[in-house]
Amino acid sequence: MGFFSKPLFAALKEAGVTVFNNTTLNAFMELTREHWREVRATVQEKFRADCNAFIPNEAKVPLSEVNMHLPARIGDYTDFYSSKNHAFNVGCMFRGPEQALKANWTYLPVGYHGRSSSVVVSGTDIRRPHGQTLPTPTDTVPVFGASKRCDFELEMGFFYGGPSNGLGNRLDINKAEEHIFGMVLLNDWSARDIQKWEYEPLGPFTAKNQGTVISPWVVTLDALEPFRCESEVQNPAPLDYLKDPKFGQYDIKLQVFLKTEKTPEEQLLTSSNFKYMYWSMPQQLTHHTVSGCNMMAGDLYGSGTISGKEEHEFGSMLELCWAGKKEIKLLNGEIRKFLLDNDRVTMKGCCEKDGVRVGFGECVSSILPAN
């Protein structure tokens, strides 16, 4: 504790726990952004290159020997649908370009409540799910069986931090950013054939709860501040409660790689960027609380699939194969539309500017055969 200032030490003591001696970051997340900043600055100071020689060897553990875990106890999980390019692509597939975006899409961040119990850390494989599907587009009676259209979704997630807003209280857009603890990579595994049959009228359900995989490293907004950038102008202008004073995104380069059982090396499938998001994280969080929904430290929020305008920037197999109408040719000659058993998906992300690089690590998971 001697590393920290008296105010931070007092806050840690008042919390009633040793926040850095727990299996999760929840207690630390419950503090304020000022405390997160001080801890980050302290760690940077103590681990400067010129101080490295004074760090005891027993405090140094090779990354290859570290077993990474979920960074937080996730009480609730919400997934948004906030990439305009992705929403437009999917809308075009099923409704045509004239009705691709629903009337509400440009007025509010669309989302759904996910299943926090099936959020797992990178390296956890996901079992191919069972469910109801329609065998052909002309069928009206479903069959039960294993999904044939398993898909990844390239997303990023962020954790809520700070005190809860409390049930019945909504967050002010001007203060929402103070409650964003940090960001992770996120793979929202999806069973597209199950989803297509079950999503009306209430949206995603079992097609989305077989597993959501996140990277274990949480990157704070302070670390990302140098990479803040402009975003697409929102048209129409958002309602007053959603007018973000710092509106913009972060220039985070994202990649998805695929490795099959027949390929010795992974192949790049798509490259996208977080800056393509239409709705910002403060807008998502503010709208989530507009009805008085209470947030808790460690709650997780997914961005929704992140796609650019170009085909090589599409963030899902659904878009890359255009709902099964196109074939994806791999370098070894294999063909894919959706993922086959034992296909391994690796997501990577980083920010780079003026010789500075901030990485998010990897988000890795494979599709296992159905039981």
Question: Is 42 in the same domain as 107?
Answer: no
Q: How confident is the model at residue 45 (pLDDT cuts 50, 70, 90)?
A: confident
Question: Is residue 72 situated within a structural domain?
Answer: no
Q: pLDDT value at position 61?
A: 86
What are the pLDDT digits (tens) for 210-223? 999 999 999 999 99
Mean pLDDT for 196-201 is: 94
Which of 65, 92, 116 lies at the terminal end of a domain, its last residue?
Answer: 65
Task: Please determine, for residue 50, whether its predicted confidence score (pLDDT) is greater than 80.
Answer: no
- Give per-residue pLDDT as tens, 57-106: 887 888 889 899 999 999 999 999 999 999 999 999 999 999 999 999 99
For residue 358, being part of any structural domain is answered with yes
The total domain count for the chain is 2
Tell me the CATH number at 129: 3.90.850.10
Mind telling me the catalytic residues? Answer: 86
Are 183 and 325 part of one and the same domain? Answer: yes
Q: For residue 9, what pLDDT is reported?
A: 57
Mark whether 50 and 198 lie in a shared domain.
no
The pLDDT of residue 85 is: 97
Same domain flag for 61 and 160: no
The DSSP result for 97-162, as a single string, is GGGSS-TTTTTS--EEE--GGGEEETT--EEPPEEEE-SSTT--S-EEEE-S-EE-BEEEEEEE-S
Instruction: Give the confidence band of 13 by pLDDT, cuts at 50, 70, 90.
Output: low
Is residue 15 scored above 80 in pLDDT? Answer: no
- Asked if residue 270 and residue 132 are part of one domain, the reply reads yes
Structural domain for 280, as ranges: 77-368
Residues 61 and 94 in one domain: no
How far, CA to CA in Å, does 97 sit from each of 90, 201, 339?
10, 21, 27
Q: Are residues 43 and 113 in the same domain?
A: no
Identify the domain boundary among 43, 65, 87. Answer: 65
Residue 1 has pLDDT above 80, yes or no: no
| pLDDT tens by residue, 160-182 | 999 999 999 999 999 999 999 99
Phi then psi for 355, rounded to 5 degrees? Answer: 80, 0
For 311, the token pair is 């085909």
Instruction: For the chain, give percent helix, strand, coil, nearest 5.
Output: 25, 25, 50
361 and 226 fall within a common domain? yes
Contacts of 293 (CB under 8 A, 6+ apart): 167
Asked if residue 304 has pLDDT above 50, the reply is yes
